[in-house]
Amino acid sequence: MLDPKLLRETPDLVRAAIAKKHLEVDLDAVLAIDRAWRAQLQEVEALRTKQKAANAAMAALPKGSPEFMAKVGEMKAVSAQAKEREAQLKEIEEKFRQAMLSIPNLPHASVPEGRSPEQNVVAATHGEVAAVSGCARPHWEIAGFETLFDFARGAKVTGAGFPFYIGDGARLVRALLHFFLDEAGKAGYLEVNPPIFVNAASATATGQLPDKEGQMYETTPDHLYAVPTAEVPLTNFFRDEIVEEAALPIYRCAYTPCFRREAGSYGKDVRGLNRLHQFDKVELLKWVHPATSYEELDRLRGDAERLLQTLGLPYRVLLMCGGDLGFTQSKKYDLE
C-alpha cells in the first residue's frame, strides 16, 4: 500500500504510475475519501479534547454541586457525540483502506511502456537463445514424457493441472530443488521452511488480496489461503515489525509447493508442465535499505542467472512493460 502522504502531496505522480500500468483507478474518489477521513478525524479529536477539558473541570469542583452536575450532563452529551463520530470515523477508515488497496505501486523509471508481453524489452541474453536444433521438440513430445509425468492419473485423483511425478521425473524435481537451495545458501541466503497456508492479512500484504481471490485456493472454515509462491509467507515474516537498520541486508530463500488456479489460461501456455495448478518453486527474498534496493535487486537477478548458467541453459532477461506488471511489483525481471 502506498504512503497516503505520497498520494496527497504528489497525486500527479501516482496518476502517471496508474497510466503506465494501464489500470483503471478512480484516484479522485480515493482523494475525496481521504479528505472526508481527515475531516472526520479532526472532529473526533476535537471532541476528545473537549472530554478531557470537562474531566479536568469536574475534578476541580465539589461533587454534587450544581456546577459539578452541569459538567456531568455536558460530559454525557459530549461522550455520546464522540461515540457517534468515532463509529463514523471507523467506517470511513475502512473505506479509505479499501480505496488505497486499489492503487498500484509506482513503477521504476526503467519500466518500459506497453500493454502486452510483445512490448517487453530484452535487457540481456546468455548463450545462443535463438539457436534451436532441428531435432528440438516441445518437452511434452519427448519420448517417455508420459512415463515421468502422469497427467491423466493426476486429473483422476485431483483434477487437471495436478500431475504425478514418477521415477526419474520425481528425482529430477527433488534434485533441482536441492540444487537451487544449496546454491542460494552459498550465495548468502538463509534457508527457511515456511507455512504453505497464510491468512488474509498476509495475502493482502503481498497484493494477492483483495483482487486476486480467483487465483487462490481457500480453505473453509478457517479461510486460509494456499500459497501461490513462497514469497507470500517469506515477505510477511517481518510484517508489523520494525527491523533495525543495522540488521540489513537480510537474505532469505525458501522452497514451497505452490498453488494457483491459473483461471483463464488456454492454448499453448497450458501444454505439458506449463500453467500447472500445483508446482514447486524456490524463492529468493531480500530486505534491504531503500537507498540500495535496486542494486540489490540486480544482484538477486545475478544469483538467479548463475543457476541457469551452471546448468548450461541459454536464456533471455526481459524487462517487463508497465501493462504486464500487475499490482505488486515496482520493477520486475523475467528470465526465460
Query: What pLDDT digit, counting tens, does each position of 247-268 carry?
Result: 999 999 999 999 998 765 555 4
- Using CA atoms, how far residue 328 sits from 173, 250, 291, 325, 331, in Å, is 28, 20, 20, 8, 9
Compute the average pLDDT of residues 282-305. Answer: 95
Percentage above 70 pLDDT, the chain: 94
Cis omega before residue 4 (within 30°)? Answer: no
pLDDT bin (cut points 50, 70, 90) of residue 332 is very low
Mean pLDDT computed over 302-320: 92
Q: Averaged over 230-246, what is the pLDDT? A: 96
Please state whether beta strands 278-287 and 250-259 pair in parallel, antiparallel, or not at all (unpaired). antiparallel
Dist CA 281 CA 289 (whole Å):
26
HSE, side-chain direction, 13 A CA sphere, residue 206: 22
Rounded CA gap, 217 and 227, in Å?
Answer: 8
Mean pLDDT taken over the chain: 88
Q: Assess contact for 96 and 282: CB atoms under 8 A.
A: no
Q: How confident is the model at residue 287 (pLDDT cuts 50, 70, 90)?
A: very high
For position 191, what pLDDT does the model report? 98
User: pTM of this prediction?
Assistant: 0.82
